Chains A and B, each alone.
Chain A
């Protein structure tokens, strides 16, 4: 009985706080003067071959320079997404949708994302909640069914991309923190990385 009450309470709170589209997304803590640092684990489930692939590493994000995605296990490799090329990526090819929107989402910029996704938001408060992105684009909807993002204390704590085949990508972020961003830090930490903006 107690369990049912709890479920009902959660449902009620979800219903009460669910806001559709661009009305009031959950705020993310990121600004021009800080670098967002986090560790991550990424689990990919390939439904076609029924296999799981896991990887771990760290990520650093700045609004000015872009994102450095640094994988440490099972391979060591880094990818660097430059900020200046993101807009072009979004409008360029259907295949770039995820890349472009992913970078925008991590940085808390929803304007372009809303053009191609219906966004549903469930908020606990200003800095905690979930966002659900359903593709508007016909082609993309044949591949991706849903992207869900969980935000805790103003940071993305997890991101899930669900594919039509049943495959999925689930990324969990932890040890997330903001640090002062001295000029040049990002490029140094991502030294030798691949410029991933071509690898759409």
Chain B
């Protein structure tokens, strides 16, 4: 009968993962998109991923033409020719383009001319036009040719170029590279794009290594590389630290239980529980983020403890039913408390945290079911003696509980003070600090691209390309000619369809004035047939792919050294200042603040429950130890980890609270009777050791943020367990008094 039940349970448990794999496309279920980390309400206002997500920037000092050819040969990587603005204007001026692009260029006039009732504005506008034409005809240095006068009689394109000067520190060389000097180097900048699904950043790194381009100083950057690196880092940590911790935990299990079967059963139980958690998340959200997977794997710590408790009971000679009966209540209580703590996270609008809440609850519930309904029926030998635990318990008897209370209070006070007074470091850049190569290349390219007068980017959010361009055109009129030379507005070169219609009407309206001016010098210019002029879709424009325009907005670049211009842009409601690092840091700050609140709520709910369940003694065996555990983790981060505190410090707090709650419940439930105390202490110490062997190891991670997480857990759990073991139940207190 148990066999049928066990088989049914295992099948039910595996169902979520199987269903998730069947329903979803397996290649898309693990996401490493940084955008998923953003709060839901900010996602829509942010830069569309397609605008920058897969764009890469590459630069080389030597042999750029060979490099360009080699890069073009990489499958899945589209290399754009250099932004051909100059080429485009050249072709426009000399009629080398399709005539339809005429609609794209305004005849260049003062924004208020024609519409203005002030005659002086229109008169000045006419003078400007005449001056331009005089220059063209009589100044040999103006380089105006016969062809240009006939194809662009307003000389609009050259005037436009003069109005919107692209950063003069850039120049295009004869090889088609944009060249920019910086740090004593003159690098050829090439831009490209990864075709989704065709090439990954890892493939790219490998191909670049195989090409042996080191001597050509290739540097590259792009958001996709950072997203990939973060994912790779998590994978690497999970693999390397995972192997070491698995070996250590296995040795511990073998030493304690002297049974390979128990080890195997525990590993299978953990894998199945994580699979259930993962499958549930994929079923609900359609995918699982790599960060959810990494943080969710930390649940193994709690799940291992459930397994340990069951096997300690079984190897101590309890029958399956007796073990189940003894563990049902404390395990259920532990499950409810831990799951509640994690489920509180689903109240946030942060996708990863909501995924984590679901994964934690599902994984813990699955572990509970496996531990209660499958593991008890595995036949084991009586190997657990509990002697070591009894010896330790004997030593702890002499500890003064008042001293423990004082110490815990001191640690809580110190931790709270440090959290309040030591500034938290939410800077996303610091999280990757240990990963030097990509960050260094990014810094090099940023300094080259932005030069001494760094650029500040602004985002215009819209529901379509057309509306984005219209918004851009609206704000373009607000800039003075001086300011226009310091700002790059994509709509200057690719107008909206609405603007194109206005341009055509404008040409027609001003054609008479233009003809009069040319005739003054005895020239009859052939006027273009504007009546049949058609508009074009912005994406059809030859420059579309080379300008930062997407279907949900566009980017504007302004010279950062012009404070007046920056203030003006900052004051515009439509333009959102874009500082990717600051943006992400702000998101992580928001995570930290939300999580801090949730941790406090979880701690309060747990404490309340413990007080209801155990009365006043909950203060000594739960409230103080849990508080001291969380506070000591913070203190460790400040004193040992160099003051590095961020949202992951709070995440570690959740882990300490979850695991510590288990320790408290089991200690309170079983250690109150002298016959069980030794075995319970031994179980808790083994549970603590397995957790340290797994999560304490994270302190050795290459990534700053994970290392800080591991350090926090290692210290916090140690302090909490010690404080729990030093606490005394009411009965022990009475016995001590007697």
Contacts and interface: CB of A to CB of B under 8 A. Distances in A.
Contacts of A51: 522-524
A187 B151 CA distance: 36
A77 B143 contact: no
A198 B162 contact: yes
A183 to B, nearest CB: 24
Contacts of B143: 95-99, 200
Contacts of B385: none
Interface in A45-89: 45-49, 51, 53, 55, 67, 69, 71, 74-75, 77, 79, 81, 88
Contacts of A42: 138, 140
A164 B137 contact: no
A102 interface: yes
Interface string A137-170: 1010011100000000000000000011111010
Contacts of A103: 141
Interface string A17-51: 00000000000000000000000001011111101
Contacts of A175: none
B147 A143 contact: yes
A200 B171 contact: no
Given A75-B134, A92-B171, A48 B147 contact: yes
B138 A48 contact: no
Interface residues of A, number: 47
Nearest to A75: B134
B89 interface: yes
A191 interface: no
A48 B149 contact: yes
A49 B138 contact: no
B522 A196 contact: no
A96 B521 CA distance: 25
Interface string B132-150: 0011011111110111011
A93 interface: yes
A144 B145 contact: yes
A2 interface: no
B512 interface: no
Contact of B523 (A46, A92, A165): A46
A112 B86 CA distance: 20
Contacts of B174: 137
A93 B142 contact: no
A79 B86 contact: no
Interface string B512-528: 00000000011111100
A71 B521 CA distance: 14
B138 A77 contact: yes
A130 to B, nearest CB: 19
Contacts of B140: 42, 69, 102, 169, 171
Output the residue of B90, B168, B526 with the most chain A CB within 10 A.
B90
B523 A194 contact: no
B584 interface: no
A67 to B, nearest CB: 8
A196 B146 CA distance: 19
Given A48-B146, A88-B168, A164-B147, A71 B138 contact: yes
Given A69-B141, A77-B134, A196-B141, A95 B147 contact: no
A166 B140 CA distance: 17
B146 A200 contact: no
A143 B149 CA distance: 12
A173 B523 CA distance: 25
A143 B171 contact: no
B96 interface: yes
Nearest to A50: B524
Nearest to B90: A94
Contacts of A142: 94, 96
A67 B141 CA distance: 10
Contact of A53 (B90, B137, B158, B524): B137
Given A143-B145, A143-B147, A167-B147, A93 B90 contact: yes
5 contacts: A75-B138, A95-B158, A97-B143, A144-B145, A169-B140
Interface of B: 86-87, 89-90, 93-94, 96, 134-135, 137-143, 145-147, 149-150, 158, 161-162, 168, 171, 174, 521-526
State the 5 A-B residue pairs at the shortest beta-carbon distance, nearest first.
A167-B146, A48-B150, A98-B143, A99-B141, A94-B90
Given A53-B521, A77-B138, A199-B162, 16 more contacts: A44-B146, A48-B525, A67-B141, A71-B138, A77-B139, A79-B139, A79-B141, A98-B143, A99-B141, A137-B174, A139-B87, A142-B94, A143-B147, A167-B145, A196-B135, A200-B143
Interface of A: 42, 44-49, 51, 53, 55, 67, 69, 71, 74-75, 77, 79, 81, 88, 91-99, 102-103, 137, 139, 142-144, 163-167, 169, 171, 194, 196, 198-200
